[in-house]
């Protein structure tokens, strides 16, 4: 079952080597997994590393659309497996990073899942690898839309641009009080969604006219997905406290992203199939590499 998925637009200068090196730095920093690699992680077309109950698999190749570098981390446990997939790919000349986590278990998911956003997402943001998405920065801080990000928020809600990530709009009551801890919300959703924050109640009236009423108001939070006219509304009145409302929003976005990206064209299985098809159709002599 896919339990986490996000796809981040990267700056054009970010190479497969830079991206996969960061991935392996992340892997090496986790206890009992692997020591830092002493080679370029994209220097092999295929590779497999095993240590204890963990495997790391690599695939690197190029298609007409651009370069693809993929890494799968498999963690075996007594009652199942975790699969973490990191895929660098290029589409229309622009690079992206896809991160997906699957759980394969005989037990109910609740027995396994105490979910936290993978650290690699924060690393990509902190290193400055992510590019702006139609003027919206990929960040783990709130985007205050009363002044600085007002136009970007309007374009998003009017579906005038083709952003890659969903957006959260945090409104406020007549006293300027928000229904959630928006700084915490932005931190948890960094790399998964943009968090627009409205601190002036008068902004809601102006925004309503500019987006044909698609904005939430009062003690509400709206969640919007690119290219979709419908949006989800969360109300403080339906929750016991602001923390509960924040967690409900985070869980909704995590689940929705996993559902929408379950059949992503660059998920691990399809990347492996693409590479195998290229090799099967090639007349060249096979080069030396470790088969996965």
164-202, pLDDT tens digit by residue?
899 999 999 889 989 999 999 999 999 999 999 999 999
pLDDT at 147 over 90: no
Tokens of 132: 């702006």
Q: Which has the minimum average pLDDT: 33-47, 52-66, 164-178?
A: 33-47
Place 289 in a pLDDT band, splitting at 50, 70 and 90.
very low
Provide the β-strand partners of residue 143. Answer: 196
Model confidence at 45, pLDDT cuts 50, 70, 90, reads confident
Q: Which two tokens stand for residue 13?
A: 């200068």
Higher-confidence residue of 80 and 277: namely 277
pLDDT of residue 286 exceeding 60, the answer is no
Check residue 286 and report its DSSP letter: P
pLDDT above 70: percentage of residues in the chain: 89
Report strand pairing: 80-91 vs 94-105: antiparallel
Binned at pLDDT 50, 70 and 90, residue 281 comes out as: confident
Q: Predicted confidence band at 292 (pLDDT cuts at 50, 70, 90)?
A: very low
Q: Which two tokens stand for residue 44?
A: 């092999």
pLDDT single digits (tens) 221-274: 999 999 888 999 999 877 778 888 999 999 999 999 999 999 999 999 999 999
Spatial strand order in the sheet of 194-197: 143-144, 194-197, 167-170, 220-224, 232-235
- Write down the mean pLDDT value for the chain: 87
Q: Shortest CA distance to 197 belongs to which of 141, 125, 138, 134?
A: 141
Residue 203 has pLDDT above 50, yes or no: yes
Question: How confident is the model at residue 287, as a pLDDT?
Answer: 39
DSSP structural state of residue 140:
S
Please state, in angstroms and rounded to a whole number, the distance separating the CA atoms of residues 114 and 118.
12
Residues 6+ apart with CB under 8 A from 283: none
Structural contact between residues 288 and 34, judged by C-beta atoms closer than 8 angstroms:
no
Look at residue 37 in the predicted model and tell me its pLDDT. Answer: 58
What confidence score (pLDDT) does residue 291 get? 33
> Domains of the chain, with CATH numbers?
2-131+266-281 (3.30.530), 143-260 (3.40.30.10)
Residue 30 pLDDT greater than 70, yes or no: no
Question: 């839309």: which residue's tokens?
Answer: 145
- Contact criterion met (CB below 8 Å) for 71 and 56: yes
Cβ(10)–Cβ(95) under 8 Å? yes
Per-residue confidence (pLDDT) for residue 29, from 0 to 100: 75
Rounded CA separation 92/33 (Å): 35
Does residue 288 register a pLDDT over 60? no
Cα dihedral: 37, 41, 45, 46 (round 10):
40
- Residue 200: phi and psi, rounded to 5, are -110, 120
Query: What's the mean pLDDT in 129-152?
Result: 93
Distance CA 265, CA 83 (A): 17
Query: What's the pLDDT tens digit per position in 109-131?
Result: 655 455 678 999 999 999 999 99
pLDDT at 264: 96
């Amino acid at each position: 079952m896919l339990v986490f998925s996000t796809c981040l637009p990267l700056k054009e200068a970010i190479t497969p080597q830079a991206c996969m090196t960061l991935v392996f730095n992340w892997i090496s920093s986790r206890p009992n997994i692997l020591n830092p690699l002493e080679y370029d992680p994209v220097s092999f077309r295929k590779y497999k590393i095993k240590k204890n109950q963990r495997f790391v698999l690599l695939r690197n190749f190029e298609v007409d659309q651009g370069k693809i570098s993929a890494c799968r981390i498999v963690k075996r446990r007594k009652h199942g497996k975790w699969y973490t997939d990191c895929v660098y790919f290029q589409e229309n000349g622009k690079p992206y990073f896809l991160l997906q986590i699957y759980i394969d278990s005989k037990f109910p998911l609740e027995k396994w899942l105490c979910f936290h956003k993978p650290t690699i997402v924060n690393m990509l943001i902190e290193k400055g690898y992510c590019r702006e998405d139609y003027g919206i920065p990929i960040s783990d801080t709130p985007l205050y839309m009363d002044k600085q990000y007002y136009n970007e928020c309007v374009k998003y809600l009017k579906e005038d641009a083709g952003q890659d990530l969903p957006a959260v709009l945090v409104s406020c009551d007549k006293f300027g009080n928000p229904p959630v801890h928006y700084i915490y919300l932005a931190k948890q959703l960094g790399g998964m969604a943009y968090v627009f924050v409205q601190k002036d109640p008068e902004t809601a009236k102006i925004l309503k006219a500019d987006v044909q009423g698609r904005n939430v108001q009062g003690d509400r939070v709206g969640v919007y997905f690119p290219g979709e006219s419908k949006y989800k509304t969360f109300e403080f009145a339906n929750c016991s406290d602001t923390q509960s409302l924040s967690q409900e929003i985070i869980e909704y976005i995590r689940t929705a992203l996993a559902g929408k990206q379950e059949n992503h064209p660059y998920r691990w299985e399809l990347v492996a199939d693409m590479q195998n098809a290229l090799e099967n159709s090639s007349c060249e002599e096979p080069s030396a590499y470790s088969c996965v």
